[in-house]
Amino acid sequence: MQGHGYGGTPALRYRYRVAGCVLLVAHLLAVGWLALRPLTAPWVTAAHLEPFASLRADLALGPWEAVRAIGSGVLPLAPLGVLLPWARGRVAASSLGSLTRTVFTAAMISLGLQVVQSGVLGQVLDVDALLLDVTGVALTHLAVVPAVRARLRRKADGERPAARLPEEAPQGLTPTIPRVRIAP
């Protein structure tokens, strides 16, 4: 039977995948709870639908305020860059395909969160928040996932047996006789 390209027993791989799913759900619940709390504000601005408008406003506040504001936009969904591939449980996956799936899933989660958030008292729809969420997920994925997958692949290659005993050596192809078929 052929393995899936990563080491460990099936039970261990299953536990890692379940742990990833549990952490993913816990993170999404925490982010959802924090994002969907009503804010007490005397007035609320209109929705920010022009891309990069609120980023320009943040940059106009000064360097420290801009770092704080942009960082607070990048960090909430950034762990999804690691948790989504972990929950999927594949080590031998295409880097570009994994990044594409992760970023698309994070964009859909962020979009859904923004749409639901716009109905909460004191919260407004912000396109730049969506862009910052996706950027945080992509950066986290690129910084962590390829390195961890490469390490796990190397570890899995190290677990494979290096040499066979002489009695287990392959004997070659099975001889066949022309015009004689294999019985069903």
Per-residue pLDDT of the chain (184 residues; tens, 9 = 90+): 344 445 567 787 788 899 999 999 999 999 999 988 887 777 777 777 889 988 998 899 999 999 999 999 999 999 999 999 999 888 888 999 999 999 999 999 999 999 998 888 778 888 999 999 999 999 999 999 999 999 988 887 776 555 555 555 566 666 666 776 666 6
- Give the C-alpha separation, 78 to 76, whole Å: 6
| Assigned token pair, 137 | 């997920």
pLDDT, tens digit (0-9, with 9 covering 90-100), for 74-101: 999 999 999 999 998 888 889 999 999 9
Q: Considering only CA atoms, which of 120, 47, 117 is closest in space to residue 76?
A: 117
Distance CA 115, CA 11 (A): 39
Separation between Cα atoms, residue 141 and residue 82, nearest integer Å? 6
Q: pLDDT averaged over the chain?
A: 84
Give the separation between CA 88 and CA 171, rounded to whole angstroms: 39
Residue whose structure tokens are 């066979």 = 164
Report the predicted TM-score, pTM, of the whole model to 2 decimal places.
0.76
Supply 62's token pair.
């000064």
